[in-house]
A and B are shown apart, each in its own frame.
Chain A
Amino acid sequence: MKFISKIILIAVIVISPMASYGQYCNYFHTKYCNPSENDMFKLNGQSKSALFAKGQTSELNIIVYKGQDYRISLCMDENLGAQIQFKVYETKKVKVEKVYETKTTEDEFKPCGDCNGEGTMDGETCYSCEGEGQTATGETIEVVDKETKIVTEKRKELLYDNSQDGFSTEIEFTVESTRRITVEVTIPNGGGSGKSKGKMMKSSDMGCVGLLVEHMTTPISGFKGTGF
């Protein structure tokens, strides 16, 4: 028993540094993303770092407020390549009308004028009438019920694509109206076979990506509010 305990203890001591591998990306954005040279910019709490694999895409949903300037910059481990794509979308919840179809199977009935809900007919093969002048044909039909509901959908509208801007790793902008934006980061696949779930990854195919968000109050330009 003592022998097992010793082995387990040694194993824990040796393995524990591995646990830190998962936390390797912790604070990556504050350590490796270059902050703005403008001292007015402050670190924004919506910044994030994460471990990425080649070919992976992740989204960061943040809020940018009216009256503030934002700077979003990207930094990454060298092995992930230099041409990391990032796109900025506006994310919006919209209420839309949606028609839902429900299909059910029902017995087929046909008019049975002479029976009138009581007797049988021979000429048109009506034998047991139900309701007023309706008789079962013995066949079934598919009935489609349509119901209109108002549902909330998430929609994204592309605002910026760094592949159209020389794969720039930073963007700075003034916000005129508060928005919920999505920053989508895609690591190039590196000539692999495309996206696949549960693909065997080499450690060289993984690395940290940091997304540093900074903000400041939009500076007022011009001679505003002099009072003279």
Chain B
Amino acid sequence: MKKQIKLAVTLLMVTPLVLLTSCGGDDPIEEPMEEVVEEVVEETNEEYYQIPSPDEMFGFIKESGLKFNGELLNDIQSSTSYTEPTKQAMNFGVYSADLAYTAAYEEFNETTKYFGTVQKMAEPIGISAAFDKTLIERAQSNLDNADSLVAITNTSYFSVVDYLDQNEQGDKLGIIAASGWLETVYIVANTANYDSDKLAVDRLADQRLTLDNLLDYFTKYEDKEETKEMMGWLRELEVVFAQKEVAEENSGSGISLKKKDNGKMVLGSSSEDKTSISKEQFNAIKDKVNEIRNKIISTEEA
């Protein structure tokens, strides 16, 4: 008991000192205060692995001419069927990607529904704080403005990412980002025609690099029970992508970042760009992604 009192009193005495130092400012009189309080900081070299948000992919495939296919969206009716926490996080990622897909293609009615679903799902996952009142009001008043809607859906996605990041829930963030990424790959693989949509097929082939980033991201959380299932699926997918990797390595990249004659910097390769994949590989990736996606969206009753 005495120990508890001592601790509380000590905290009360020390805290104002710490708070004073974090105020900072230009006044030179405050300088000595900064010198008094010290904090122990681990000067480690941090490595961060970022995953492109779904809007980047959908913006690209829309520009490359791929048509919207509403049948590929995960039914919003299923959202209440996901009761297990990991499954909820996974499908939050799926619905977030679907939201970005509908917003990119200006499917306003669908966007409204998916925004509501994502917002509702945020609550049981414990991330409803990421959807503040202003954001919801902005979304409601811009439902017929394509540019604003894309911006708002992005803001909500980035807000979730930041919230989880700042609250040290990296494992949950990884599950959401990976599921969202898988949904974008699923949509592209099932919309693109191998023979006529070369740009989209190339973009699909490039996803092996994003997969590398995802797997590296997850290494920090590989001991967590919640991430094991997702990591297993991603590794299965890595095997399907791997064949291409060997073929590319043999060619050597010769990559450079140089200024061209017009003064523009270009990140390019001296060797021929060999990003495309064979039809067999395209189908193999598509099959594997469909298989994983079906597992993610399956409801507990199924």
Given known pairs A14-B12, A197-B43, the reply for A45 and B166 (CB within 8 Å) is: no
A53 nearest in chain B by CB position: B41
Given known pairs A4-B5, A15-B15, A176-B268, the reply for A61 and B50 (CB within 8 Å) is: yes
Q: Does the CB pair B41–A157 fall under 8 Å?
A: no
A18 nearest in chain B by CB position: B18
B158 nearest in chain A by CB position: A45
What is the minimal beta-carbon distance from A40 to any residue of chain B, in angstroms?
12
Q: How many residues of A contact B (CB 8 A)?
A: 72
* Residue from the list A15, A59, A65 in contact with B48, Cβ < 8 A: A59
Judge if A58 is at the interface, Cβ distance under 8 Å. yes
What is the minimal beta-carbon distance from A206 to any residue of chain B, in angstroms?
7
What is the minimal beta-carbon distance from A130 to any residue of chain B, in angstroms?
46
B205 nearest in chain A by CB position: A178
B257 nearest in chain A by CB position: A159
Residues of chain B lying within 8 A (CB to CB) of residue A176:
266-269, 273
What is the minimal beta-carbon distance from B99 to any residue of chain A, in angstroms?
14
A46–B11 CA distance with the chains assembled, in angstroms: 38
* Residue from the list A18, A24, A159, A180 in contact with B209, Cβ < 8 A: A180
A76–B210 CA distance with the chains assembled, in angstroms: 27
Judge if A204 is at the interface, Cβ distance under 8 Å. yes
A55–B41 CA distance with the chains assembled, in angstroms: 12
A4–B5 CA distance with the chains assembled, in angstroms: 6
Judge if B264 is at the interface, Cβ distance under 8 Å. yes
A175–B21 CA distance with the chains assembled, in angstroms: 44
Residues of chain B lying within 8 A (CB to CB) of residue A174:
264-268
Q: Does the CB pair B19–A58 fall under 8 Å?
A: no
A67–B257 CA distance with the chains assembled, in angstroms: 15
Q: How many residues of B contact A (CB 8 A)?
A: 68
B216-257 residues with Cβ-Cβ distance < 8 A to A are: 216, 245-246, 249, 253, 255-257
Binds B, one of A88-96, A101-109, A113-121, A137-145: A88-96
Judge if A172 is at the interface, Cβ distance under 8 Å. yes
Q: Does the CB pair B48–A45 fall under 8 Å?
A: no
Q: Does the CB pair A159–B45 fall under 8 Å?
A: no
Q: Does the CB pair A173–B266 fall under 8 Å?
A: yes
Given contacts A61-B49, A65-B52, A159-B256, 15 further A-B contacts (CB under 8 A): A26-B166, A44-B53, A56-B44, A61-B216, A68-B60, A90-B253, A157-B255, A173-B265, A178-B209, A197-B44, A198-B40, A200-B40, A201-B40, A202-B37, A202-B39
List residues of chain A with CB under 8 Å of any chain B CB: 3-4, 7-8, 10-11, 14-15, 17-18, 21-24, 26-27, 42-46, 48, 50, 53, 55-68, 79, 88, 90, 92-95, 157, 159-160, 171-181, 195-204, 206, 215, 217
11 pairs from A and B in contact (CB 8 Å cutoff): A17-B19, A18-B19, A61-B47, A67-B60, A90-B255, A94-B249, A178-B209, A196-B43, A203-B37, A204-B24, A217-B60
